[in-house]
């Protein structure tokens, strides 16, 4: 039987900030956006916020603060929260150390983002013990060396391992290797990948409220009432998932995507999400010594319609600026039409080593971008280790744009 781990760093961005600044421990911390103090009608001051929440400590989550929430709403729910800017360079640095720990135990590591990964430890058991023992060792190393906390799930498949890691967060290890189908049965349908929004009421109306309901349903009936995806849900609900753990070094593309708890509407919200994913993808490319020639954006509407567009990058690229500009170009070719989006993602393909030899002649636009990047880097270095990331985001989000096509 395979043994797959899913390791998920708990409140990663916020936890890194707390590890770097221990006085923040036990306090509600929100990463992303910024606080705004404005004059209030009738005198006094009114506190609001701009941007969106990228991460929140568990102390802030108790007030209902969650990722992708507008900062103004987060401050309304938790006015005593400590707001901190995103330090993507620092998070990528810590992520690299986390992944170094993963690779001590197995070469089969598939990163999903900066803060989570699947590990196939089936062939590692002779050296380090079974999957639970390995998960303990990994969590101990992360705590002792980095001062961070991770949750882990151990199971025969990727899907069940991810379910397990999320059941008792934070700082939990859940062994889901035995009686898989029976233990999955009482879980709500919302834990199935892809279920949410408008699909959930439809499934519940059909009596498909739990994993067990899918397990007992006949394939023919599912195809007729839900479609082929219903049979796929049944397999997942039964713990059947044959997908292998694919190491990043063998990946044909590197991407980042998120299914949001609240739908995104309008170009500004989608654009901010694309910027966050561009930063994440850039960090993963750099961490793996890769650059890409093609960028694609992926959006899924609240009606589960998947829309994607590709844009060539020309020369291999791995910096946030180039990736985000390409993502904007791809977004410009999509008619938003007031639609709501539950998922946004960025993927880069046609990968090559980032130290690949450049072409002799480069177009003027690329030269201009390179000079801009060097200027931002120099200024960022003077401001400190996090200045570059902040400048890049401010430069990208602050640009004036022409009319959307």
| Predicted confidence (pLDDT) per residue in 116-135, tens digit | 999 999 999 999 999 999 99
The C-alpha R_g of the chain, in whole angstroms, comes to: 22
What DSSP state is assigned to residue 210?
B
Task: Write down the pLDDT at residue 391.
Answer: 46
* 216 and 171 in a common domain: no
In a domain, 381, yes or no: no
Are 114 and 8 contained in the same domain?
A: yes
- Provide the CATH number for the domain around residue 107: 3.30.70.270
> Which residues are marked as active site?
116
Say if 123 falls within a structural domain. yes
* Inside any domain, residue 314: yes
Whether 312 and 166 map to the same domain: the answer is: no
3-state secondary structure of 393: helix
Residue span of the structural domain in which 225 resides: 183-237
Q: Judge if 174 and 112 occupy the same domain.
A: yes
Q: Are 389 and 87 in contact (CB under 8 A)?
A: yes
Answer yes or no: pTM beyond 0.75.
no
Residue 396 reports pLDDT greater than 80: no
Residues 222 and 194 in one domain: yes
We report the CATH number of the domain holding residue 224 as 1.10.150.20
Decide: 12 and 99 in contact? Cβ < 8 Å.
no
**356 and 289 share one domain:** yes
Same domain assignment for residues 133 and 9: yes
For residue 365, what are its two tokens?
A: 């636009």
Q: Is the pLDDT of residue 241 over 70?
A: yes
d(CA 227, CA 219): 10
Which residues have C-beta within 8 Å of that of residue 97, sequence separation ≥ 6? 145, 146
Q: Which residues pair with residue 9 across a beta bridge?
A: 150
Highest mean pLDDT among 155-164, 201-210, 329-338: 155-164
Residue range 12-62, pLDDT digits in tens: 999 999 999 999 999 999 998 665 445 555 555 454 455 778 889 999 999
Q: Are residues 146 and 8 in the same domain?
A: yes
User: Domain count of the chain?
Assistant: 4
Of the residues 84, 115, 143, which one is the last residue of a structural domain? 84
């Amino acid at each position: 039987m395979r043994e797959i781990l899913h390791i998920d760093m708990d409140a990663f961005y916020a936890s890194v900030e707390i590890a770097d600044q221990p006085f923040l421990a036990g306090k509600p911390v929100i990463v992303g956006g910024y606080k705004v103090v404005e004059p209030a009608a009738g005198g006094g001051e009114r506190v609001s916020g701009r941007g969106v929440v990228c991460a929140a400590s568990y102390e802030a989550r108790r007030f209902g603060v969650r990722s992708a929430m507008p900062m103004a709403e987060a401050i309304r729910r938790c006015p005593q929260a400590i707001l901190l800017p995103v330090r993507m360079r620092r998070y990528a640095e810590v992520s690299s150390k986390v992944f170094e720990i993963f690779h001590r135990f197995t070469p089969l590591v598939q990163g999903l983002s900066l803060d989570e990964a699947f590990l196939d430890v089936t062939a590692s058991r002779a050296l380090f013990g079974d999957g639970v023992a390995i998960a303990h060792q990994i969590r101990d190393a992360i705590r002792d060396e980095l001062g961070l906390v991770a949750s882990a799930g151990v199971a025969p498949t990727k899907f069940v391992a991810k379910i397990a890691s999320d059941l008792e967060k934070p700082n939990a290890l859940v062994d889901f290797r035995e009686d898989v189908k029976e233990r999955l049965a009482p879980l709500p349908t919302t834990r199935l990948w892809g279920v949410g929004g408008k699909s959930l009421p439809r499934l519940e109306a059909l009596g498909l409220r739990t994993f067990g309901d899918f397990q007992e349903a006949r394939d023919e009936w599912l195809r007729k009432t839900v479609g082929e995806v219903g049979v796929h849900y049944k397999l997942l609900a039964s713990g059947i998932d044959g997908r292998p753990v694919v190491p990043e070094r063998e990946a044909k593309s590197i991407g980042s995507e998120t299914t949001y708890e609240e739908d995104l509407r309008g170009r500004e919200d989608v654009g901010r999400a694309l910027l966050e994913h561009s930063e994440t993808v850039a960090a993963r490319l750099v961490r793996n010594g890769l650059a890409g020639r093609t960028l694609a954006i992926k959006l899924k509407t609240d009606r589960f319609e998947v829309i994607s567009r590709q844009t060539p990058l020309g020369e291999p690229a791995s910096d946030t600026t180039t990736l985000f500009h390409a993502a904007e170009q791809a977004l410009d070719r999509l008619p938003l039409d007031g639609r709501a989006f539950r998922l946004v993602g960025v993927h880069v393909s046609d990968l090559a080593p980032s130290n690949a030899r450049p072409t002799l002649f480069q177009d003027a636009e690329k030269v201009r971008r390179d000079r801009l990047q060097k200027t931002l880097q120099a200024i960022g270095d003077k401001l400190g280790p996090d200045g570059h990331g902040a400048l890049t985001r401010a430069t990208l989000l602050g640009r004036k744009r022409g009319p959307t096509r």
